[in-house]
Copies of this chain bind each other. A is one copy, B any other.
């Protein structure tokens, strides 16, 4: 083990000089094509430019819809990004934690401003970005149902709710006890709970304690947000958290089928390294990597929910927390050793096994849920320094499969295969599941089958419906972190390279299909849903629609009832918008007036969105057909302004404008 570690450290160290973590591609056809002239390329491959054109039209003819939609987080872009498969076209970016003017998200519309404000992590600073990590599609009986998607913000421990009727963010909740998360969001098989696991330990409740008091005062956590499908909201009052030791909880996954009701979270830094080479401590990258084993957290969620409901909680920052002693006493929390600095824990489709990839161990380790239950019943425990019972590794481990260097995350298909990303090797490993999955493929179970090189440095991967109880297989996307030479150079900040891989075959038939640059964020993880499971509205159901509450706004401006009402220094406007006119139109006010302005887009035609911008006041709205939006501001700037439609709506779009004059 130590020799292997030395090899890995050497491999990692070598990256610093020449970027050589990037394993050269073995896709020689691709390598040979790093020219930039279509005719040259075509000729070099024995093709004419017409062959290329014909291929393009064969592949994705005009009007063909995609088969799957990938929901990718935007990383530190703070958004969600929708990609169609197999075309790998970006269909939309959804504003979540970061304001986005094209969508009118966070640029004046009262609902978006209030949702962003409710999710603020503190009181003295305004935070207008997030680090979105793990999107989770809502599930019914363990299958994606196409109703909601959730995503966490690692930087500030937040979770957002997006309604897939209109693909807009409806709620952002700030975790009251932690400042960072990672193992979120994941859902339970019927979306009763949204799991949010912590990341970097800190005093709970965002309190201060010096770093020297790490072991005594710093803590990890996992939070279970109660989701109400009817209202489409997280119910904060019915949610709770569990205090955990100050390890860095990493990814979580919810049990399903046989393991429904349980949740599993990795952890790293069970060494409790605090950094500070300046103080004689090991640097983090070494300190966190000292031990051969970390701890998988095995959580009895059903029982924890009962304990929380019974009131055996402590209120921290107004939030119910099951303290560690209670979890231990009530049998809510167990540990299983896991090698080594694990980065992913993934539950097999049947819920029967847990796959852990330790990034500094060339194996994946497979745990049996049945064996875990037996071990818990058997009571053969040791304990960590905080008293958490540790199961015996040999009692719970089902198999270890040697895959290669830097295994991170695992996905599943319908053929009994698992797919694990190998970061250091820049490859996807296909391996055969054993147990009840062994009948589905010709290979011996729990064995490596083949590898597909990717370009380069793969983080997560996502397979079609790959987190469900019934994965589709067929397509897999490698979320590669580095692109290096794969695309035309567009400056020192490179896009990532998402590669579409055909996994429809068996054995060594994986094939790389397509490189897709991702240059609008750094997606961390993605889930892929069959497109026909999505059934969004084409236009809002009725004119005067309030998208925040998904109902008609009784105060929405109506055609024929548009008006401007002045009450002292308060001016309230009820306006309608239709191709190509705003009514009422000239708005003449005094400097210092406070303006409340409602607009209804009265269109019923599909795609007949109107924009609305009020230059100089940071107001930019997007009004989809039927939508009503309200914004307000104080007219601090005098002068002559022209509000106008920013969405090219008709031949007379340029004339969809009005003068807004502010008299000093």
Contact = CB atoms under 8 A, between A and B. Distances in A.
Contact of A15 (B15, B167, B211, B579): B579
A218 B640 contact: yes
A615 B350 CA distance: 38
A30 B60 CA distance: 9
Interface in A27-82: 27, 29-31, 33-38, 41, 45, 47, 49, 51-67, 69, 74-78, 82
A56 B57 contact: no
A284 interface: yes
Nearest to A278: B584
A232 interface: no
Which A-B residue pairs are the 4 nearest by beta carbons?
A167-B491, A19-B605, A30-B63, A92-B519
A593 interface: no
State the number of copies, please. 2
Contact of A250 (B63, B69, B654): B654
Q: Which of A34, A620, A664 has the most CB of B within 10 A?
A: A620
A285 B55 contact: no
B658 A275 contact: yes
A124 B636 contact: yes
Contacts of A482: 607
Interface string A113-142: 000000001111111110100000000000
A84 interface: yes
Nearest to A123: B637
Nearest to A166: B491
A607 B77 contact: no
Contact of A481 (B64, B76, B648): B648
A352 interface: no
A127 B618 contact: yes
A102 interface: yes
A197 interface: no
A278 B180 contact: no
Contact of A102 (B35, B75, B82): B75
Given A21-B650, A651-B406, A156 B76 contact: no
A200 B657 contact: yes
Contact of A488 (B66, B88, B180): B66
11 contacts: A16-B603, A16-B605, A52-B86, A56-B59, A90-B520, A92-B520, A125-B617, A210-B588, A210-B663, A211-B659, A276-B585
A484 B62 CA distance: 13
A434 interface: no
Interface stretch (A303-311, A394-402, A493-501): A493-501
Contact of A167 (B211, B493, B648, B655): B493
Interface stretch (A320-328, A367-375, A439-447, A508-516): A508-516
A656 B285 contact: yes
Nearest to A486: B63
A642 B16 CA distance: 24
A487 interface: yes
